[in-house]
Amino acid sequence: MSSPRVSRTDAAESSGRRIAVIGVRGFVGGALLRRLEDDRGPERLVALDLKKPLAPLDRSQFYRVDVTLPSADGDLADILAREEIDTVVHAAFLGNPTHRTAWAHELEDVGTMHILAACARARVAKVVLASTTLVYGAAPGHPNLLVEDRELSSDPRVPFVATKVAAERQVRKFRAAHPEICVTTLRLAALLGPKADSLAARFLSRPVAPVLLGFDPLLQVVHEEDAIDALLLALTGDHPGEFNIVADGVLPYTTLLALLGRLPLPLPRAVAYPLVNALHALQLVSSPSAMLDWLRYLCVADGTKAREVLGFEPRYDLRATLADFLGLPVGGAEYAVGEGRA
């Protein structure tokens, strides 16, 4: 399984850094800010969002900023310059789909444009993007393992993913235009853990889960604590480029459901897609039917580059992540499956 928890910032170069985390109301941004406050590595911490994080701030300075506003880049640049920020973490992304697709576009696509423009104006040294492996999409032509230079999804049917793809493409152009800035993108696998508020956590918390007849794709996850560890590694070293952040091991979807004690609901495709379309139109579910593709096709990311370049070693494998998600002792014999490493 995993080694005991260690602080990634204790022995690294984040000491003395002046870090701004954008999107602290979300799970990833909020969890990262709490860890940075606990580890007391950075010299200065700035938190930015529309609302304060749920946890009380100890030593972070909070600024209320709406990245969708036309003036956001100037407002952000002023804050970054005034606080002498050298490192920006962009975690202002939705963790779950929404029916407010126009607003989601403004937040993730336009908001990323404003954030990057502010970083350039303030002349920061590093930008870290908290992205997702969902940007690869789910397609029948995927190889067994998706590496970082794989073409990203161009499917517009899933706005939850399309806006994140648009943000990543902006970041790539920004990296090329500003070689003096270290730009790191972490693509996090499905987040699970006892506290994670994510699409995967909500979906797998339900007692019943749909299964498309004839399909049983391999799935992978990453523990919430490992995701934050990876972000800390990106902060403590200079590693430009994209990195897949995944736990060790993959499992067939139905096996994963069985380990979690969820009841599978087999559905033919001809029923499942129209049913979800109808429920989505009535706003009874937040995900469009196109997200069922992830229950049909392979989307498994290769974590080799993160291990070899970033130095990322997950402390929780897939079985331990599932156990912790359920609140069970980690490392139990009932999780002795899925030995493969992704």
Q: What is the CATH number of the domain that holds 57?
A: 3.40.50.720
Instruction: Flag whether 334 is in a domain.
Output: no
The tally of domains found in the chain comes to 1
Residue 159 lies in a domain: yes
Q: Give dist(CA 80, CA 83) in Å, integer.
A: 5
Compute the distance between CA of residue 136 and CA of residue 300 in angstroms, rounded to an integer: 9
Is residue 208 one of the residues assigned to a domain? no
Q: Is residue 254 a part of any domain in this protein?
A: no
What size, in residues, is the chain? Answer: 342
Structure tokens at 108: 């993730």
Whether 342 is in a domain gets the answer no
232-280, pLDDT tens digit by residue? 999 998 999 999 999 999 999 999 999 999 999 999 999 999 999 999 9
- 72 within domain boundaries: yes
327 lies in a domain?
Answer: no
Q: What band does 2 get if pLDDT is binned at 50, 70 and 90?
A: very low
- Predicted local distance difference test score (pLDDT) of residue 38: 86
pLDDT category of residue 154 using cuts at 50, 70 and 90: confident
For the stretch 184-238, pLDDT in tens is 999 999 999 999 999 999 999 999 999 999 999 999 999 999 999 999 999 998 9
Q: Can you give the residue range of the structural domain that contains 229?
A: 18-197+221-247+301-316
